[in-house]
A and B are shown apart, each in its own frame.
Chain A
C-alpha cells in the first residue's frame, strides 16, 4: 500500500491565523479595512487600497457565487493523486473579494458559473487550511 503523502500546508502567522482558524471551523473570517471600508482577501499586513493598518477581523456570511471553476485532473502534488478530478472554484464572496477554494460535490451535483455556494467545515483528510464550499 502506498504511503500517504502529506499535502502542502500553509504557513500560519499572526496576519493570517484568524482566517485559518475560521477555515478549520467552517467559518469565513475576513479582514476589513476600517477607514476604507474595504474587505480584503488574501490576508494582508495592511490595506492594499489605502495602506491603513487599521484592519479588523469579522465573521462573513460564508456565502458567494461561482465566478469560475475547473476540475483538476492532474494533481500538482502527490497528496492529491487520489482526489482528482478535484473541483476547484473561484467564489465571488457576498462581501466582495474573490476566493479560490475547493468545492465539495455530491455525485448528483453540477457546477455552473453564478450558482450559490456556502462554506462548510472540512472533513478529515480534505486538506489543512483549505477553504471548502458546497452548492447551496
Chain B
C-alpha cells in the first residue's frame, strides 16, 4: 500500500491499487420488543444490504460483526450460521465506536488485498432493563466501582458530564434541547425511526427526570435492530451499478485523557486535525454530520472536539445553526439514536448507514441537497466514568 509520508499520517490511505469503496447499506426494522435473536437481526440487515446492491452472498469474502449480546457466539459462528466462507473477519469491541472502526478496518483490508467484498454488520436486542443489566457487568471497573453505588447506568455518568459542562461553560438546557428537537424533526422523514412525532422544546425541558439534569428526551431508547454496510474493491465496484462512496479519511482514538473520570472531551479532539487535513476539507465544508448521539451533551462535546466551536462554546454554536436536514448544518439527518432508538452496537453503525444513504441519494424524506461530503463519528465503550473509544471518518461521493 502506497503512503505519502510527507502528509500527516492518516488511515485508509487513498490512491492505492485496491482502493476500497462503500457500495451500499441495509437496515433492519427497529423494534421496541422482538422475539427475534441477535443472529436473526444480523442476517436480516445483511440480506437487505446485499439485495440493495444486487450482490449475492457467495461474493462476500470478509465479515465484521459488532454486537454486545453476541456471546456465546462470535464473528466465526456468525459466518457458520450464515453459510459464509471468508478470508477475513473482525469482531468490533469498541462499544459505540465499533461500527465505524470495523468499516475503516475493512477498507484497509481491501486496500491490502486481503479481501474483495466485506460485509460490516452491527446488531443487538435490548430493552431498558436488559441494557441496565449489561451496564452493571459491562467491564470490571463498572462492576466493582460503579454498579454497587446505584450509579444509574450511563445516564448517571453522562449527567455528571452535563452538570460539569454547565458549571464550566454555562451550557443551557435550551441549547441541548435544540439538538434533540432538530434531530426529531429529521426523524419525521425516516420511516424506521421509533419516534416520529415532533418534539417541542418545552416538552424536552419538562420531561421526566432520569438522572438530574438528564431528562427523558436526553436518553436513547434501547431497542432491537441492525445496520449493515458493504465495502468492496474499486475493481469489484465497477461491476456493480452503485454510486461509490469513498472514505477520504478515518481515524480512531482510545482512552483519551487517561485517568480522567468526568471528561468534557472525547478522543475526537486528538484526531480531528489530521482527519480534516487528510481529507482536504475544513469543518464548514461538510454537507452533513452524523455524530454519535447517546446524549445531546455528547453531541455538543463532539462538535467542540471537531473544531466547529471552541471548547465550551458548543451551546452558542448549535443555537446559531439550523441542524435540520435542510438547514445550515444538517446533523443526524435520520434523527439519530435519540429518535430512532439505540439497538446496542448498532448505535455505532446507524450514523454510517445514514451517511452512505445521504451520499447515494437514498435518504428519502430527509435528503440533504447537495450531499457531497459528510462526517461520521463513533463513541463508546464506557469505562470508569467516560467513553473510552472514539472514531471518525469523512466520506464523500
User: A residues near B, CB below 8 A?
Assistant: 7-11, 16, 42, 48-49, 67-77, 79-80, 83-86, 88, 90, 97-102, 113, 127-131
Cβ of B16 under 8 Å from chain A = no
The answer to whether A42 and B136 have CB atoms under 8 Å apart is no
The answer to whether B211 and A68 have CB atoms under 8 Å apart is no
The answer to whether B160 and A90 have CB atoms under 8 Å apart is yes
Cα A10 to Cα B144 with chains together (Å):
4
What band does the interface of chain B fall in when counting residues whose beta carbon is under 8 Å from A? 35 or more
Contact pick for B164, options A7, A42, A113, A127, CB 8 Å: A113
Complex A-B: 22 CB contacts under 8 Å: A8-B147, A10-B148, A16-B144, A67-B164, A68-B163, A70-B214, A72-B150, A72-B152, A72-B211, A74-B210, A75-B152, A76-B151, A84-B150, A85-B212, A97-B261, A98-B262, A100-B149, A100-B261, A102-B149, A113-B164, A113-B167, A130-B149
The answer to whether A42 and B144 have CB atoms under 8 Å apart is yes
Cβ of B140 under 8 Å from chain A = yes
Q: A73-B209, A73-B211, A100-B145 are in contact. Are A127 and B150 (CB under 8 A)?
A: yes
Interface string of B357-387 (1 = CB under 8 A from A): 0000000000000000000000000001100
A83: which B residues are within 8 A, CB to CB? 150
B95-135 CB contacts (< 8 Å) to partner A? 132-133, 135
Cα A37 to Cα B209 with chains together (Å):
42
Cα A74 to Cα B158 with chains together (Å):
14
Supplied contacts A76-B150, A88-B151, 12 more A-B pairs, CB within 8 Å? A10-B147, A11-B143, A70-B152, A73-B209, A75-B152, A77-B150, A80-B150, A88-B160, A90-B261, A100-B151, A102-B149, A113-B163
B67: which A residues are within 8 A, CB to CB? none
The answer to whether B155 and A68 have CB atoms under 8 Å apart is no
The answer to whether A70 and B213 have CB atoms under 8 Å apart is yes
Contact pick for A100, options B146, B164, B213, CB 8 Å: B146
CB distance from B191 to the nearest CB of A (A): 29
Q: A68-B163, A97-B259, A100-B261 are in contact. Are A9 and B151 (CB under 8 A)?
A: no
B156: which A residues are within 8 A, CB to CB? 70, 72, 76, 88
Q: Which 5 A-B pairs have the closest CB atoms?
A: A72-B152, A70-B159, A80-B150, A10-B144, A8-B147
CB distance from B15 to the nearest CB of A (A): 39
The answer to whether A77 and B132 have CB atoms under 8 Å apart is yes
The answer to whether B163 and A88 have CB atoms under 8 Å apart is no
Closest A-chain residue to B209, C-beta based? A73
Cα A73 to Cα B159 with chains together (Å):
11
Q: A10-B145, A113-B163 are in contact. Are A73 and B210 (CB under 8 A)?
A: yes
B140-199 CB contacts (< 8 Å) to partner A? 140-141, 143-153, 155-157, 159-161, 163-164, 167
The answer to whether A74 and B152 have CB atoms under 8 Å apart is yes
B260: which A residues are within 8 A, CB to CB? 98
User: B residues near A, CB below 8 A?
Assistant: 132-133, 135-136, 140-141, 143-153, 155-157, 159-161, 163-164, 167, 208-214, 258-262, 384-385
Cα A7 to Cα B164 with chains together (Å):
28
B164: which A residues are within 8 A, CB to CB? 67-68, 90, 113
The answer to whether B261 and A75 have CB atoms under 8 Å apart is no
A7: which B residues are within 8 A, CB to CB? 148, 150
The answer to whether A10 and B143 have CB atoms under 8 Å apart is yes
Closest A-chain residue to B210, C-beta based? A74
Contact pick for B262, options A85, A90, A131, CB 8 Å: A90
Contact pick for B155, options A67, A72, A98, A99, CB 8 Å: A72
Question: Which of B141, B156, B262 has the largest number of chain A CB atoms within 10 A?
Answer: B156
The answer to whether A11 and B262 have CB atoms under 8 Å apart is no
B159: which A residues are within 8 A, CB to CB? 70, 72, 88
A128: which B residues are within 8 A, CB to CB? 148
The answer to whether B385 and A88 have CB atoms under 8 Å apart is no
Cα A130 to Cα B146 with chains together (Å):
8
Cα A74 to Cα B163 with chains together (Å):
17
Cα A72 to Cα B161 with chains together (Å):
14
The answer to whether A102 and B150 have CB atoms under 8 Å apart is yes
Cα A86 to Cα B145 with chains together (Å):
16
Closest A-chain residue to B158, C-beta based? A70
The answer to whether A68 and B262 have CB atoms under 8 Å apart is yes
The answer to whether A77 and B136 have CB atoms under 8 Å apart is yes
Cα A84 to Cα B208 with chains together (Å):
14
Q: A11-B140, A100-B385, A102-B149 are in contact. Are A67 and B258 (CB under 8 A)?
A: no
Cα A80 to Cα B147 with chains together (Å):
10
B133: which A residues are within 8 A, CB to CB? 77
Closest A-chain residue to B214, C-beta based? A70
